[in-house]
């Protein structure tokens, strides 16, 4: 029934899954717990995710907890065929994922996954949720709830909810602190620097590094660039975020001015046209421009290509465009996510937090989903705390506990001046 | 058979020229020196023989020497680092180039001999990196009748030259172009600091934030690695042997611990000392399972591989630069790049901007020698502190950073060498 490239790749996949698993201690602890308590017995989970070693470890946790599981790929280009084979053969989920397959096959895979008749839906980009609501409404009766991992997917599901069509409760994993603190801040912080170094091998120490957008990702990128010895400039449109950057000791100015100073530019705004052709025309000769926002709309790549009078590929993922003013700018990874294109996607340590949070959200839905209203619900605070505590344990870090008196003090509205 | 590069194919020349164009753009200090000497051609009548890894950055140095009027012969002095396209492009400009990528050790020797013999009356100046040319010149003085002086780039090489000087074998002056503050700061500290951290991430793919990262040795290189690892969010601990460097590490905000304590909780260990047997069996026994071991010091002897092998039950290659050692007691440790230089193996070594400074020092030393080597006695000479200050100024200009000019009195203090913290101070092991 399943669709994978070649089951004989499973041995190789198993080795990689194990290697990643060793760096996912929180998820491993959960797996052990689920194996004892079996919270998912009688539940059927449909997942649409990047089919990677990290996802495999989450499947392992859910199957260990007694779930019957089916999995398809949220993006055919991120599927690792050997990992898919091992999830099918060793972990025992039904897998529908083949690297590089076409659109038709992709929809057949979604179909195959939904044949499990899910009670729980795990989504990355809201494809399962929207397909179910459009074409498989007969499944809705059984579904107790779902989770969604990306901001873009959350946006889609919120729109469904606002339009009054969403029929089950959804937890937006992206909004949990244990996700965006690790993924957006520390994960993107490191993989952006990593991608820039692999694409250019230029020295960051002493350079001027402009971070466009000081959100979760921007803070991480700025912190790591400074840590590598760069002088960091921030540009923003939100006054509170800009103020935060100033008090973090960074220089803040409009992009039009920063354009003239930067050696490196990184866009992390989630917005379009953060760096325009006009900005690029002001840049120093040889300035490097990269994007770490989700879509490739943050840098005006088309306008740059249109205006350029010369193009030279300096290295893989590193193209120089000469402008009519005689100066050149260097665009990395054609304006797509530089960390994912030129380096490796998030390290296992980051996905550990995301998937541990998600697995616990699934457990919560199993016990409470029936009582929850359809709509987007914040991930319960206890889940964040539990995941963070487990991660601290893995780091070997201990913290203090509130005393009885402190607890009372914090909860009593009558104590004051 | 000769290793001389003759009539290289046009496509290879084109590739080499493109590579040199890219490197030149990132080497503004050399570009500045080049534009100064292109008019006056101070190296006219000089014949320069060089033996430094033939990369695109070295190519930019060679171009400068040619632009300054010198006749140049060059070889890489190494089995694997010669970039054939760069060799081709230089040969097409009239440089005598010897060697290719993928030679045996004996072939490397032969290419060095050919380089030394490339000119009718022999070279007047040598540019060396590891004393291959100097040694060849000393053992066959007949081949170098007009030789006036040499430069040497490595610490180890300078130590050997000093020995030869003491034995009375050295017949020409040699300038040590390694011991400059600008070279250290940019190359050993910030260049190697970045490329080491880069190498670890490329090899393992781990998130550095939160990792317990032990740096053994806090010299020029160790300090750079510690700073950059901290900058990427790691919890860094430093092990030192010298009290002076330990104070420096502590005042830079790093916890300093003896190795057997530091290693107990280590996720990643990086040696950066230049000494053998920094991590031996007793240290390996203290490591927690899953620790990553790597080295960025001079040689593969810093981590005692025999001790590791003795404790190893089985090894597995788990990623291109990662060898997992399963130990007899069930723990495993991951050794990166076989204990060799992690930054050269798993990353790309020094960026062009770094070689810009290193080679600027070398180019200026050659120009100084051409102008006045007759005033130097045979022996090892240090580059004067003014030169250091000069290179630093050129680098600032390239970065468009302005500072105030010192008064003549201040300049004297700055370059006298006696004032603590002045450029004259050399901080060593
Ligand atoms: N590269 C990765 O691995 C990775 C990981 C997580 C998220 N992301 C993506 O990165 C983007 C940013 O995510 P985030 O969590 O930091 O979002 P965020 O909303 O916290 O931050 C975005 C910031 O950009 C600012 N901004 C918007 N338009 C701007 C403009 N024109 N100029 C300057 N600043 C502007 C906003 O004011 C905000 O402060 C999103 O597209 C997200 O999907 C990437
Ligand atoms: N990876 C590279 O690209 C690169 C670049 C430059 C230099 N190097 C090499 O790195 C090494 C270090 O260079 P450096 O400039 O930092 O030298 P350095 O002399 O400044 O520093 C070495 C430090 O290690 C300390 N040390 C020695 N043995 C020790 C031990 N057992 N435990 C703890 N500390 C110990 C010394 O006290 C000294 O402080 C040299 O071998 C050098 O050749 C490598």
Q: Report how far apart the first and last C-alpha atoms of chain A are (Å, whole number).
A: 69
Distance A243 CA to ligand 1 centre (A): 16
Residue-wise pLDDT for A322-368, tens only, equals: 999 999 999 999 999 999 889 987 889 999 999 999 999 999 999 99
Does ligand 2 have an atom closer than 6 angstroms to the CB of B298? Answer: yes
Range of the domain at A266: 186-341
> Between β-strands A169-172 and A375-376, what pairing exists: parallel, antiparallel or unpaired?
parallel
For residues B127 and B365, give the distance between their C-alpha atoms in angstroms, rounded to a whole number. Answer: 10
Q: Tell whether A284 and A175 lie within a shared domain.
A: no
Q: Which residues contact A242 (CB under 8 A, 6 or more apart)?
A: A214, A234, A236, A252
User: Among partner residues B201, B209, B351, which is closest to A201 by beta-carbon distance?
Assistant: B351
In A10-168, DSSP assigns E strands to 44-49, 68-73, 94-96, 120-123, 145-148
The answer to whether A131 and A117 are in contact (CB under 8 A) is no
State the complex-level ipTM.
Answer: 0.83
Q: Which tokens is A285 given?
A: 């000769």
pTM of the predicted model as reported, rounded to 2 decimal places = 0.87
Look at residues A163, A172, A261 and name the one whose alpha carbon lies nearest to residue A211.
A261
A223 CB neighbours in chain B (<8 A) are: 233
Of A190, A198, A202, the CB nearest to B207: A190
What pLDDT was estimated at residue A416? 63
pLDDT, mean of residues B318-337: 95
Looking at residue A244, which CATH number applies to its domain?
A: 3.40.50.720
A402 found inside a domain: no
Mean pLDDT value of segment B256-273: 96
CB of B239 closer than 6 angstroms to any ligand 2 atom: yes
Q: Are A235 and A101 in the same domain?
A: no
A309-313, B58-62, B348-352: segment of lowest average pLDDT: B348-352
Q: Check whether residue A76 and residue A210 sit in a common domain.
A: no
Residue A184 neighbours by CB under 8 Å, 6+ apart: A215, A216, A217, A220
Residue A405 within any structural domain of the chain: no
Phi and psi of B127, rounded to 5°?
-115, 105
Our mutation pick for probing the ligand 1 site, out of A148, A156, A184, counting the most ligand atoms within 8 A of Cβ, is: A184
Shared-domain flag, residues A25 and A165: yes
pLDDT for res A417: 57
End-to-end CA distance of chain B: 45
Strands A44-49 and A120-123 turn out to be parallel
Which residue's CA is the nearest one to ligand 1's atom 38? A215
Instruction: Give CA–CA dist B314/B293, Å, rounded.
Output: 16
Question: Does some domain include residue A75?
Answer: yes
Residue A316 pLDDT greater than 70, yes or no? yes
Ligand 1: residues with CB < 6 A are A 151, 180, 183-184, 187-188, 191, 212-218, 235-238, 241, 268-271, 274, 292-294, 337, 339
Helix (H, G, I), strand (E, B) or coil at B127: strand
Q: Residue A401: inside a domain, yes or no?
A: no
| CB-based contact A229 B227, cutoff 8 Å | yes
Distance B275 CA to ligand 2 centre (A): 7
Secondary structure of residue A260 in the 3-state scheme: helix
* Contact residues, chain B, for A201 at CB < 8 Å: 347-348, 351-352
- Percent of chain B scoring above 90 in pLDDT: 79
Residue A153 and residue A199 in one domain: no
**How many whole angstroms separate alpha carbon A381 and alpha carbon A377?**
12
Q: How far is CA B220 from the centre of its chain?
A: 12
The dihedral region occupied by A329, where left means phi > 0, alpha psi between -120 and 50, and beta the remainder, is beta
B194 near B407, Cβ under 8 Å? no
Share of chain B above pLDDT 70, in %: 96
Domain annotation covers residue A225: yes
Distance B216 CA to ligand 2 centre (A): 9
Nearest-CA residue for ligand 2 atom 36 is: B429
Cα of B45 vs centre of ligand 1, distance in Å, is 60
Q: CA A230, CA A219: separation in Å to the nearest integer?
A: 14
Q: Give the pLDDT band of residue B419 (cuts 50, 70, 90).
A: very low
Q: Which residues of B belong to the annotated binding site for NAD(+)?
A: 219-224, 343
Q: Using a CB–CB cutoff of 8 Å, tell me whether A23 touches chain B.
A: yes
B273 C-alpha to center of ligand 2: Å? 3
Same domain, A12 and A120: yes
CA distance A150 to A176: 11
- Give residue-wise pLDDT tens across range A396-407: 899 999 999 999
pLDDT, tens only, B66-83: 999 999 999 999 887 889
| Binding-face residues of A in 211-230 toward B, CB within 8 A | 223-224, 226-229
A 10 A CB-CB count for A246 gives 13
Mean pLDDT, range B303-318, rounded to an integer = 96
Question: Which ligand is nearest the CA of B259, by number?
Answer: 2
Q: In CATH terms, is domain B190-345 a member of 3.40.50.720?
A: yes
How far is Cα B428 from Cα B219, in angstroms, rounded to an integer? 7
Q: Please say if the pLDDT value at position B429 is more than 90.
A: no
Please indicate if the annotation marks A292 as binding a ligand: yes
Count of domains observed in chain A: 2
Percentage of the residues of chain A whose pLDDT score is greater than 90: 85
pLDDT, chain B, mean: 92
Decide if A349 contacts A23 (C-beta within 8 A).
yes
Ligand showing the shortest atom-to-Cα distance for residue B345: 2
The secondary structure of chain B in percent helix, strand, coil, rounded to multiples of 5, reads 50, 15, 35
Q: Is residue A174 part of a domain?
A: yes
> Which two tokens mark B192?
């190697």
Residue nearest to atom 40 of ligand 2 (CA): B274
Q: What percent of chain A has pLDDT over 70?
A: 99
Q: Is residue A261 part of a domain?
A: yes
Q: Which one of A341, A358, A374 terminates a domain?
A: A341
Ligand 1 atom with the smallest distance to the CA of A273 is: 31
CB contact under 8 A, B191 and A203: yes
Arithmetic mean of pLDDT, B184-201: 94
pLDDT, tens digit, for every residue of A219-269?
999 999 999 999 999 999 999 999 999 999 999 999 999 999 999 999 999
Per-residue pLDDT at B422 exceeds 60: no
Residues A95, A119 contacting (CB under 8 angstroms): no
Residue A138 Cα to chain centre, angstroms: 31
Cα–Cα dist B266/B211, whole Å? 8
Contact of A13 with A84, CB cutoff 8 Å = yes
Whether A111 is covered by a domain: the verdict is yes
Could you tell me how many helices (H) and strands (E) chain B has, helices first? Answer: 18, 14
Asked whether residue B178 carries a pLDDT value surpassing 90, the answer given is: no
Helices (H), B205-336: 220-231, 243-251, 259-262, 281-286, 305-311
The more confident residue out of A270 and A46 is A46
Q: Are residues A23 and A135 in the same domain?
A: yes
Name the average pLDDT for chain A: 94
Q: What pLDDT score does B423 carry? A: 43
Inform me whether the pLDDT recorded for A394 exceeds 80: yes
CA nearest A188 in B: which residue? B207
> Same CATH topology for B10-183+350-398 and B190-345?
yes
Q: Tell me whether strands B322-327 and B332-336 are parallel, antiparallel or unpaired.
A: antiparallel
CA distance A195 to A269: 18
Pocket test for ligand 2, best of B274, B295, B346 (most atoms within 8 A of CB): B274
Average pLDDT over residues A375-389: 95
Who contacts A221 (Cβ-Cβ below 8 Å, separation ≥6)?
A: A188, A189, A192, A193, A211, A266, A268, A292
Q: Which of A32-36, A109-113, B254-258, B404-408 has the lowest mean pLDDT?
A: B404-408
Band the pLDDT of A289: cuts 50, 70, 90.
Answer: very high
Q: What is the pLDDT of residues A156-187, one digit of tens each?
A: 999 999 999 999 999 999 999 999 999 999 99
In our burial notation (b when 16+ CB lie closer than 10 A, e otherwise), range A324-339 reads eeebbbbbbbebbbbb
CATH code for the structural domain at B10-183+350-398: 3.40.50.1480
pLDDT digit string, tens, across residues A5-55: 999 999 999 988 998 998 899 999 999 999 999 999 999 999 999 999 999
The domain ranges of chain B are 10-183+350-398, 190-345
Beta-sheet pairing, A208-212 with A120-123: unpaired
The pLDDT value given to residue A77: 79
**Least confident among A378-382, B311-315, B410-414, B416-420:** B416-420
Please answer whether residues A353 and A183 qualify as being in contact, where contact means their C-beta atoms are separated by less than 8 angstroms.
Answer: yes
B43 within ligand 2 shell (Cβ under 6 A)? no
Cα A269 from chain centre:
15
Max Cα–Cα distance, chain B, nearest Å: 69
Size of chain A in residues: 417
């Amino acid at each position: 029934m399943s669709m994978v490239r070649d089951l004989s790749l499973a041995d190789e996949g198993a080795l990689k899954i194990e290697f990643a698993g060793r760096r996912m201690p929180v998820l491993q602890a959960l797996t052990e717990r689920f194996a004892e308590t079996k919270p998912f017995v009688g539940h059927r989970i449909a997942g649409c995710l990047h089919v990677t070693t990290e996802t495999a470890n989450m499947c392992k946790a859910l199957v260990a907890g007694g779930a019957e599981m089916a999995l398809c790929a949220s993006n055919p280009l991120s599927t690792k065929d050997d990992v898919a084979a091992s999830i099918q053969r060793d972990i025992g989920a039904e897998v529908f994922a083949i690297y590089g397959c076409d659109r038709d096959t992709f929809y057949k895979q979604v179909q195959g996954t939904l044949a499990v008749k899910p009670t729980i839906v795990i989504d990355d980009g809201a494809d399962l949720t929207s397909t179910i609501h459009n074409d498989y409404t007969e499944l809705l009766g059984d579904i107790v709830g779902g989770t969604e991992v990306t901001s873009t997917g959350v946006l889609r599901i919120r729109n469904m909810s606002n339009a009054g069509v969403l029929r089950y409760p959804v937890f937006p994993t992206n909004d949990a602190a244990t996700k965006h603190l690790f993924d957006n801040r520390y994960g993107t912080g490191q993989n952006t620097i990593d991608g820039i170094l692999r694409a250019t091998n230029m020295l960051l120490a002493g350079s001027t590094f402009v971070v466009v957008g000081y959100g979760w990702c921007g803070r991480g990128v700025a912190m790591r660039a400074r840590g590598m010895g760069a002088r960091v400039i921030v540009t923003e449109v939100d006054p509170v975020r800009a103020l935060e950057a100033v008090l973090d000791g960074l220089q803040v100015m409009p992009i039009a001015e920063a354009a003239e100073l930067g050696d490196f530019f990184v866009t992390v705004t989630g917005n379009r046209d953060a760096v325009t052709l006009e900005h690029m025309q002001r840049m120093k000769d040889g300035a490097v421009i990269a994007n770490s926002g989700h879509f490739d709309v943050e840098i005006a790549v088309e306008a740059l290509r249109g205006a350029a009078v010369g193009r030279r590929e300096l290295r893989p993922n590193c193209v120089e465009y000469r402008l009519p003013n005689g100066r050149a700018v260097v665009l990395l990874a054609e304006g797509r996510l530089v960390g994912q294109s030129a380096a490796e996607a998030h390290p296992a340590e980051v996905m550990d937090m995301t998937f541990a949070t998600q697995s616990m959200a699934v457990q919560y839905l199993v016990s409470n989903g029936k009582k929850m209203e359809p709509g987007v619900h914040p991930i319960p605070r206890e889940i964040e705390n539990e995941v963070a505590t487990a991660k601290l344990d893995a780091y070997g870090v201990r913290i203090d506990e509130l005393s009885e008196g402190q607890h009372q003090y914090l909860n009593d509205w009558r104590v004051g001046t | 058979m000769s290793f001389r590069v003759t009539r290289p194919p046009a496509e290879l020349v084109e590739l080499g020229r493109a590579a040199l164009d890219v490197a030149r753009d990132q080497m503004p200090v050399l570009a500045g020196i080049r534009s100064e000497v292109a008019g006056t051609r101070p190296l006219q009548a000089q014949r320069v023989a060089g033996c430094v890894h033939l990369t695109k950055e070295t190519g930019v140095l060679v171009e400068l020497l040619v632009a300054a009027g010198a006749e140049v012969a060059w070889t890489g002095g190494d089995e694997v680092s010669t970039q054939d396209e760069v060799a081709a492009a230089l040969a097409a400009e009239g440089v005598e180039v010897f060697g290719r990528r993928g030679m045996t050790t004996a072939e490397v020797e032969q290419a060095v001999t050919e380089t030394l013999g490339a000119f009718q009356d022999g070279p007047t100046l040598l540019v060396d990196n590891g004393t291959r040319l100097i040694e060849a010149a000393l053992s066959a003085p007949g081949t170098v009748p007009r030789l006036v002086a040499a430069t040497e780039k490595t610490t180890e090489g300078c130590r050997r030259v000093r020995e030869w000087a003491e034995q009375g074998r050295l017949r020409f002056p040699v300038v040590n172009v390694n011991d400059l503050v600008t070279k250290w700061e940019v190359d050993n500290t910030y260049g190697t600091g970045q490329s080491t951290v880069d190498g670890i991430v490329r090899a393992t793919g781990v998130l550095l934030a939160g990792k317990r990262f032990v740096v053994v040795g806090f010299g020029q290189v160790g300090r750079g690695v510690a700073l950059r690892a901290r900058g990427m969010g790691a919890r860094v601990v430093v092990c030192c042997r010298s009290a002076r460097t330990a104070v420096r590490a502590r005042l830079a905000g790093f916890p300093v611990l003896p190795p057997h304590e530091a290693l107990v909780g280590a996720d990643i260990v990086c040696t950066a000392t230049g000494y053998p047997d920094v991590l031996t069996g007793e240290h390996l026994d203290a490591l927690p399972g899953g620790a990553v071991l790597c080295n960025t010091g001079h040689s593969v002897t810093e981590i005692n591989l025999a001790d590791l092998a003795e404790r190893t039950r089985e090894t597995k290659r788990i990623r291109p630069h990662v060898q997992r050692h399963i130990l007899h007691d069930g723990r495993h440790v991951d050794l990166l790049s076989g204990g060799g230089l992690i930054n050269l193996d798993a990353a790309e070594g020094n960026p062009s901007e770094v070689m810009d400074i290193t080679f600027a020092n070398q180019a200026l030393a050659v120009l100084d020698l051409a102008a006045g080597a007759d005033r130097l006695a045979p022996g090892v000479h240090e580059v004067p502190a003014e030169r250091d200050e000069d290179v630093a100024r050129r680098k600032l200009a390239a970065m468009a950073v302005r500072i105030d000019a010192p008064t003549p009195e201040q300049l004297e203090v700055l370059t006298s060498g006696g004032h603590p913290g002045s450029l004259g101070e050399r901080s060593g092991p």
